[in-house]
A = this chain, B = another copy of it.
C-alpha cells in the first residue's frame, strides 16, 4: 500500500493508473476506520483494479461547536487496518492542501441537504458535497463507495453525481453492525459503557418499525409513535428525529410500504448517532433493500 499525502501526487498517480488501463475505486473516509469502512474497501476491491482509501477529516462539514477538534484521528492505526486488505493507496492529504488560502467555491446540494439532519447541522452537507466533488476530481475514480449508514449523505451524493454529470459509478454498501445491532461508527468510541448500552435505542426503534410493518401496520404515524416510545424509555438519550420517509426526497410518508426508510438520529451527551433501516419483506437481503430504496427514490 502506498501512502500519498499531497493532492499533486494523488492526481499524478490517478493519471498513471488510468493510462495503464486500470480501473480505480475511491472509498472516502474521515479515518477512525472500523468494520463498516473495511466492508466498503472490500466492496471497492471487487469493483475495480486499484482502490484508493482517502483519509481526511473534512473541516467544512463540521459546524461551530461540533466535534472537529476531538474527532478521532489515528493514521497509523488506520493504515494498519488497511494493510491486510491490500489497498492500493491510502490518500491522507493535509487541510491546507485540500483547502488552500483563498478557497471559496462550494457545492450547494439543494433541498435534500436541508431535510432531516440538515436542519440541525446547517452547512454540513455543503461541506460533504464540496469535499466529495474535490476528491472525485482529484482521484477520478470509476467507482466510489459510500455506506448506507448516512443514508441522507448517500442520496445526496447520488443527486450530485447526476446533477453535475459526474462520470462515476456510485456504490452504496449495507450498514455493518455490532453483534447486538448497534451500527458501527467512529463516534461510538466516545461512548461510556452505559452510554453504549443506551445507544441501542437507535437499532431497537428501527427493528420495532420493521416488526410493526411485518405485522401489517401501514400507518406511518403509529409506527413513528412506537419508534419514539423506544427512545422515551431510555433517559440517557435525546432523540433528534425518528421518521419514516420516501427515499426520493426524504419526505415523511403516510403509508408505509416496502422501500420506505426509517431514519433515526439521537444524542447521548455531545455524541450524535444516526442509523436507518429500509423497510422490506422478511428475508430481503441488505443489498436488495438498498436497491429497493434507490429504485423507489427514482420513481417520484
Contact = CB atoms under 8 A, between A and B. Distances in A.
Contacts of A11: 165, 167
Interface stretch (A43-51, A98-106, A199-207, A225-233): A98-106
Contacts of A108: 105-108
A140 to B, nearest CB: 8
Interface residues of A, number: 28
A107 B105 contact: yes
Contacts of A111: 104
A284 interface: no
Contacts of A110: 104-106
A163 to B, nearest CB: 4
A105 B165 CA distance: 11
A167 B137 contact: yes
A241 B103 CA distance: 26
A75 interface: no
Interface of A: 7, 11, 100, 102-112, 129, 133-134, 137-138, 140, 159-160, 162-167
The 10 residue pairs across chains A and B that have the minimum distance between CB atoms: A104-B110, A105-B163, A137-B165, A106-B108, A138-B165, A108-B108, A134-B165, A105-B160, A103-B163, A105-B109
